[in-house]
Each structure stands twice: as structure tokens, then as C-alpha cells.
Structure 1
């Protein structure tokens, strides 16, 4: 679209079209949420829907309640579908979860639908939903000991799940035959398809109202404006080279830390990011595919400059070098179960550390930085039905320049929420015996970090296996400007009255439980901001009154 054309769009129309595109995605999110069978989608919102460009899949709009990590990931997914499936027609929908084709872990299943307007392909509608299980050697897919992708579950290349408006029943049968709890998965499949169809309906109405040419011009102008805004923000960062470092506990197989090194060069209104000095590819599932790695870099900037609108334009000033030869550029057949939920958050933490040297007035102590992925699976003897319960939990946010960190915040990569314990207790043979703030877990500072949570799940009947893939069990979320780190992730398992902790601190597979056994998780607090000795006495008094610290801890804060 020409510059002259975009210049003719009046501000009111531009804003209305911008909000209209967002509303299309929001309605897709709502349909996806309300029709899904899995609590992780219907209750926790672990999904995303968006509109993507015709030529290369670049982001046009995404739902306000979609997971931010999918901002970059879904661009890569859609681009790969465009390249591999160039002849899609009206009513076709592609399903794909291949991590090496613009994906994340296998549980994030994407669907891509070409959108036609008046007989011409106009854009793509895409979505992603976290399926609680896609097969593999560990129920739920979060195996911490997998050494190749085939152990993690069913890998689906871009194939048609809907052909000219008709469900591909053979493909559905193949998928359901290779995963646990097929009755639940078919509901999730139909929910994603319904969301895409709703998007096509609402986008058609928008184009009918304003015209395809006017909407195309608005999209170009909105992306150009986002680019200009991001460039202006980058110019506020002093030119220079900034370095950041973050650690993963282990890869789940080799009990040694993994390092994520960021070398960031700021030059005028452009940023260049290199991760080339990070650890080599690892044996376990903490490798990260390119789509997840680059999306984490983009998302880090969005955290620092949240006022910049989300579309492809805001990414243009950010150049990320592909970190080939590191665990942040996974290639077949490397296992990748932890890439989106865990590794991406360490990439962001390293980015935050680097930016803290440059613009401390915009930064904060590190957040908890782990999704706390927990799976409990078995057969409920009361119903005779198998189950796979997937759960993730919140943690503390870091202290910032104007206050203490939020307690029990969601993961850095998403705006999803923990599922209500009442829903989980209704569906699965478990009881949450307590669920409370983890007092004292925030890192000390002028502004302390927020608190993590402490919860215990007891198995009520039958036998089960518990697996978890988390992080920050050895290294607490770091503070900045003299702030102290938050508490580490802690996990305790009780089997027949005997308590133990996992060898890898935050990762383990297939731990056997019998009725009465329990697992307790204590999630990390956020890092502190500034020198603890500069904390206002009134803030310390408030913490004492609220019972957040014992006397000694409060004094040291």
C-alpha cells in the first residue's frame, strides 16, 4: 500500500479499524475458551488467536488475552505453513505442532486457516491451544528426561485437519489414537476450529463495513506507527554494548547448569541481540527452538516498553542473530518440552539483566520465571476413567523503581491464570490441602520482590504418577541495583510418609503415588530492586503488620 494511501486515513477511522481487528481476535479467544474441554484452556486461558499477513505470516493483530509468547511464535508457524502449503483453498484448515516448523513444545497445537474475501486470499487466521497431553513417554508431555523429540509425544507436520470445510476424519482418528484422553482432545480440536470460523465471520463483517483496501491501508499504517514508537523507545537507551546472563538449573538429564548469555548492541534506534555465547545443545528437554527463542527476545522488549502496540512493526528495529550451535537453536531430533514454558523465561531474564545496566529506571528485579509445570496422571478407581491433570502456578514479580513486586503473578511469557482448585478437585481424585502466599520469599531491596505461592496436592484414591518440569530450583530470581535474589523453587514429595526432594531440584518424571501421598510446591519470589538498607521504615512496618516476614527477616529487608 502506498504512503499516499495510508496518509489519507483519518485518525478516527484508523483507531476504529485497529480496535475492530483486535475485537475479531478477542471473539476468537472467547469462542476458543468457552468451547474447549480442557481446563487449561477453558479456565487458565493457555491459548492464543490472531490475524497474520498474507505474504509471510507477520502479525497483524492478536487477542488481548492471548499468551504473549505466541506473539513471535505464531508468526513463524504461519510462515512455515505458507511455505509448505501454498495451495490452500477456502474452508481448509492446517494443524501443526512440529517444534522445528515454527513451533514450541508439542503440547502447543496450532491451526492455520487461509482467509478469503470476495474470492481472494486476504490473510491467515491462526491459533494455538495447549493440549494437556499429546502422547509420549510421560503423561502431559513435560518429560524432564527425554533425550529425543519422539519420546515427548506425537509430532504433527502441517497437514489438513479440515478440507474444504469438511473434517478430515482419518487425520482425527490418527491423532486421537496416539494420545491419552481422546474424548477430551476431540473437544479441544473442535474448539480451535470454531474459533477460526468465528474469526472469518467477524473479519468478513469488518471488511464489508470499511472495504478491503481501507483496512489494508490501516494495517500498514498501524505497523509503521508501532515501528516508529519502538524506535523512539530504543533511542532512549544509551548507545552501547550490554551483557546479560541467566542460568537454568539443569537440562533434566545432566545435572549441571545451562547458561544463557545475551550480548546486546544498541545503536541509535536499532538493537542487535546475540545469544551465541550460550551453552551448547543439551541432552535433555531444555533445548529451545528458534521460534520460541526469538519470541522471548521480542517479548522482553514488550515488558520494558508495554505502551508499544503489538504487531509486526514493533519488531522491525530488533535484529536477533540465530544462535546456531547453542541449546537456544534446537534442531531435529533434540527434545524441547521445556522451551516455551521455561527456557523462554530465562532468555527474558537475561535480556532484563542486560537492559538493567542501560535503563534501570525502566527495569525490575527478575520475576519468578517458571511456569511450574506439574502433571498428575492415573486411573480414577471411582469412575474407571483415565485422567491427566496439568497444572501451573504463579510466583513473585520483581521489585521495581516505584514499589514492591506483585505476589502470585503469572509467568513472564503469559497472562494465563492458575486453574481454580475447586474445578480440579471436581475433575480429578486430588485435594489441595493448602494454597497460600509463600511469606518471606521475595528478594530484599529498597523495593522487595513479590511472594511466590505454597501449595500441597494430596492423592485421594487409587495410584498415580507425578511429573514436573520447572526451574529456578538452584538459582533464585536475581535482584538488580543491589537487590537480593528471590527464594528458589522448592519441591517436596511424601511417599508413604517418607519425604524427599528431587535430585535435579526442579525436574523429575514418573514419581509413583498411592492414596494419601502428596506433593508440595513452593514457587520462587521475585528479585529485589535497590539496596535493602534504603527501604523505607514504613514499608518494613507494613510487611510486619501483614505477617510477611519474621522479625529477623524484616529487619534485614
Structure 2
């Protein structure tokens, strides 16, 4: 080992790149540990989590590929909040910090965040951070009815869940007592603690291999290189300001309009949401951290692309929004369904970018995940307190790009994978009778929008169960671009004919089947210009009907 008192030789560029890759491997193993030990189905099956490594200043150096933009990009700020609450000089080996504050985390109470300071001996060298979604954190079961954040469940400020290696059993008891799923929720907390511990071990292994006693020089290389790489990409773009707007379903007959002004300059890209709707009495208000997360993601996939995600590559992407507007909601606004607005922000950003770089930007897509969430009794007759709460991720269609069809039934822009129906069925009394591509749901175009899904399910026991409708694009479809057609509107209803057009918790009677049809993505370009063999292929595969082939594409065999 080198003498710690002696100045360390400068690290070669090659070694820095190797170490950078090792950091990426560390956080990916960290994320996999979380996913494979999680109790929550949306984490275990769909990857609704984030994991990352930070330097001693709280700057994110690497994040795992496994995870979602809303979790990852908001996690980039979370360690700074922990440092502000607990200065590094007060931290010691074996400490772990927990919180689910929506304004300092990922935007709602269902995501629990853990931060673990990592020590080499007695020296703080960095942090490991992670977060994941728990299905129940108390509060109201109807995820469309809360009117302030205090109705939405247990609110944890930044607290020490482990102190010097000793578990805070009192705090764990509070968590256990405030959820309808105490085993699952507490199990997820232990999963998060463990994944950070594994990440710290692997980080220290890497440092020992390269004889490092601190991360400062490597951190500066990662951040400076990434920052300059993003500015190099921005330098190739046209400069100016472009405007866009989008209208969403909202709730109770009150649609929501979002507006954005996107400015590209030599110093980066800024998105201003002035003019967007104000905060709503409903619960899809969005804390600014979540707005920043999905705005950064939209700019990342459109422009940044292959530059790794870290504090440096995120820095040139900035956001502003008036305090009190729906995308900069203030405490104690209701925010549990913040994804209904947040996941639509990429389409809003793309609407502005489409004017600046039209050959690279997709048409609008389904956006919001169509998560199936149900609850009910395990048996008939029901026994109070003995019930299930289960969720599974389902998805709609992505908008077409100017050079290829949109992907069908995909989680863009969330990054969450669709969950297996078999897991959903095994953890509830629900039977899924049908789950398939929804024919003709992708917007027609020279490049077709991605298809949504058609699903049908009912209870397997003679008892009523509850189904939560917290969807979007039922009234306002994904718009096509450059002559392409809109994607199909989403639909939710019962087989008996009753529709469920608004957000709410619906009681489904025994023997009744629920029909869910997720929306499709918009098409790009005149449908008449679609290559004939592609129309024939879609017809053969059942993705479009004979009527659509004939009337929309002018196809005759």
C-alpha cells in the first residue's frame, strides 16, 4: 500500500476509464441486489428502482442501468438533501439514512430512499444511494381521492434508520404499523439497506484493487468529461427557443394544459414551464424534483444519448417552473399520482424539439403507464384485515420515429418493464382471461405508432374487488406528427358495457369482467407513403385490420 502521507501519483487516463467502468459495474450489482431481494412486485418484476454511487461531496458518479428515470434523476439530488440534514462530519461507519419526502426524493410517499455513507477506515469516501417503490405506505387505497400529502400515507423526513450498525427498531416499528402490508414493506426496507451495503463493499474492493484512498480525482474526471461531452453535443444543435403545449385528461371534467419553452444555447438546454396549469385539488401535482427528472430524461434520450448519466452530464440540462404550478407543486399538495403528469413531460419536451431537430424526434406516445392495481378479500366470505393489494405494470404504444415504427406495449418513457400476469394472478384472486396487442391502436403513418394492449380479467371468487383507474389518454390521444394519424384513445370499462372514463376506485361485482385497452402511439408521415410490404406484414400479424389496411393505407392485395 502507498503511504497515505505521501502524495499519490496522478492516475493515468486509461486507468480512469477502467475505474469509471468499474463504478458502473458496482452500481449495476447494487441495483440487481435490490431487485432480487425486493418484496414489492413492481420492483422485483418491473425494476421500479434506482441505485447509484456518489462522491464525498454528494455528486452522482454513476447510476445503474436497471431503474427508472423518475427514480434515478431525482436520486441525483437526494444525497445533497441528506448531507444538508446530517453534515458529513457527524456521520460514522454503519450509519444509514431513510426518507420518503416527495420534495427531496422521487415525488411521492410510495418511494422509499436510502443513503449509506461509505467509509475507508474512518474516512468518508462517498455514498451509496438507492430507492424503490412500495405498494402500500398507508393512506387512502383510492389513489385518486387524496387532497393533500398527509392523506397519502406515512411521511418520513430524513432519519437515521441504522446508527453505527445498530437498527433503529423504534423507527422500523413505526413503518410496520403504518402499512397494510407490514411484511412486504419492512422487507423492502431491508432490501434497500442490503443493496447499499453490497454497493459499498464492491466500491471498496475496486479502490483496493487500484490502490485508491479517495475518489476525488476520479470523480472530477467523470464529471468534467461528461459535462464537456454534453456541451459538445449541444454545440451541434440549432440555437433558439421553441414552444409547445399538451392537453391531458385531468379529472372530474377538468383537463390539464401544460406549456413549455425550450431554449438551446451554448451553455446547455433550459426548459421553462411558465404558463402551465396551476396546482390542482387532485393528487397528480408534481414536485419539481420529478419534473426535473423526466425533463432531463427527455433531453437525454433525444440529445445526450451515449454519455453516461451523472452529475456532470445532468448539469447542462436545467428546468424552471413558477412556484405553485402543477409541475412545481408546493407542500402539502397531493402528489401520489404525480406520474400522470410527470410521464407526459417528455412528449411536451419533444413537441418543442421536433421543431428544432425534426428528423430525430418521435410522435407522441401513450406516456403514462397503465398500471393494473386491484385489492380485495382473499376468501369468501371475506375476513376483515385479510386481503390483498396487488399491482402489475402494463403499457401502451410508443410514438413512431421519423425513420421507424414505434415500439408496441413498451414502458417508454418510464423504463419500467411490464410485469408478468402470472405473478399478478398468484398474489391475488384475480384471473386474467386475455392480454394481447390491441389491433389498430397504433396511429397510421409512413411509420406506424406502437400498439397498446387489450386486457380482460375478473375475480375468481364470488366477492367484489376494487379496481383503481389512474390512467391518462382516455380523452386526449397521442398526436401523430408530419401527417401521421393519432394513436387510439385508451379505454376502461366493464364487459356489461359500463365505461369508467374518470379516475377513481371502482367496485367490480362478482362475475363481472374488467376491460382495459391501453392507448397507442401516434404515427409519423402520410399513411399512403407506408411501404406496401410493411402494411402486408402488419395485416398478416393481426396488428391492423383489413378495414384499416384498405381505408387508412389504401392497401389492396
TM-score (norm 2): 0.93
Distance 2:322 2:345 in 1: 12
Secondary structure, aligned partner of 1:113: strand
Deviations 1:131-188 (A, max 9, x none): 011111116xxx1121111111111111111121111111111111111111121211
Asked if 2 retains the 8 angstrom alpha-carbon contact of 1:17 and 1:215, the reply is: no
Alignment of 1:235-274 (within 5 A): 235-250=235-250, 252=251, 254-274=252-272
Q: Distance in 1 between matches of 2:118 and 2:125?
A: 6
How far apart in 2 are the matches of 1:6 and 1:436? 60
Q: Please point out which of 498, 503, 508 is paired with 2:504.
A: 508
Between 260-269 and 165-174, the greater mean CA deviation after superposition: 260-269
2:292 pairs with 1:294: yes
Alpha carbons of structure 1 residues 531 and 187: separation in structure 2 relative to 1, 3 Å: same
1: CA distance, partners of 2:432 / 2:156: 35
After superposition, the Cα gap between the structure-2 partners of 1:255 and 1:85, relative to the gap in structure 1 and judged at 3 Å, is farther
| Counterparts of 1:102 and 1:132, CA distance in 2 | 17
How far the C-alpha of 1:51 sits from its partner, in A, is 1.0
* Alpha-carbon separation, structure 1, partners of 2:398 and 2:342: 16
**Could you say which residue in structure 2 is the equivalent of 1:61?**
62
Instruction: Tell me the SS of whatever aligns to 2:373.
Output: strand
Per the alignment, residue 323 of structure 2 pairs with 324
Question: Contact 2:364/2:480 (CA < 8 Å) preserved in 1?
Answer: yes
Distance in 1 (CA, whole Å) between partners of 2:125 and 2:322 is 34
Equivalent of residue 117 in structure 1, options 116, 120, 137: 120
Q: Secondary structure at the match of 2:344?
A: helix
Corresponding residue for residue 518 of structure 1: 513
Q: Which residue of 1 aligns with 2:3?
A: none
Q: How far did 1:421 drift?
A: 1.2
Contact 2:126 2:215 in 1 (8 A): no
1:266-315 per-residue CA deviation (whole Å, 9 max, x = no partner) reads: 12352221101100111101100011001111100111132121111112
Query: Is 1:152 paired with 2:147?
Result: no
Aligned residues: 539
CA distance in 2, matches of 1:52, 1:9: 19
1:331-370 aligned at under 5 Å gives the runs 331-339=330-338, 341-370=339-368
Question: 1:38 Cα deviation (Å)?
Answer: 1.9
Counterpart-to-counterpart distance in 1, 2:447 and 2:404: 5
CA positional deviation for 1:191: 0.8
| 1:484 Cα deviation from its structure 2 partner | 1.9
Distance 1:234 1:73 in 2: 23
Secondary structure at the counterpart of residue 128 of structure 2: strand
The root-mean-square deviation of aligned C-alpha atoms, in Å, is 2.0
Q: CA deviation at 1:88?
A: 2.6
Q: Is the 8 A contact 1:261 1:278 kept in 2?
A: yes
Cα contact 1:112–1:126 (8 A) shared by 2: yes
Alpha-carbon displacement from aligned partner over 1:341-380 (angstroms, at most 9, x marks no partner): 3211211110011001111121111221011133211220
Q: Which residue of structure 2 aligns with residue 476 of structure 1? A: 477
> Residues of 2 paired with 1:325 and 1:429: CA distance?
42
Secondary structure, counterpart of 1:257 in structure 2: strand
Q: In the alignment, is residue 547 of structure 1 matched against residue 550 of structure 2?
A: no
Cα distance change, pair 213–221 in 1 and its aligned pair in 2 (3 A): farther
Q: 1:448–1:503: structure 2 CA closer, same or farther, 3 Å change rule? A: closer
Q: Which runs of 5+ in 1 are unaligned?
A: none
TM-score relative to the length of structure 1: 0.93
Distance 1:388 1:42 in 2: 16
Task: Kindly indicate whether the alpha-carbon contact (under 8 Å) linking 1:490 and 1:523 is maintained by their aligned counterparts in 2.
Answer: yes
Pairing partner for 2:531 from 533, 536, 545: 536
Kept after mapping to 1: 8 A contact 2:41/2:392: no
CA distance in 1 between counterparts of 2:122 and 2:46 reads: 37
Q: Give matches, 1:385-464, under 5 Å.
A: 385-414=386-415, 416-461=416-461, 462-464=463-465
Q: What is the Cα deviation at residue 11 of structure 1? A: 4.1
State the secondary structure of the residue aligned to 1:69.
helix
Q: How does 1:84-99 map to 2 (within 5 A)?
A: 84-86=85-87, 87-99=90-102
Q: CA deviation at 1:205?
A: 0.6
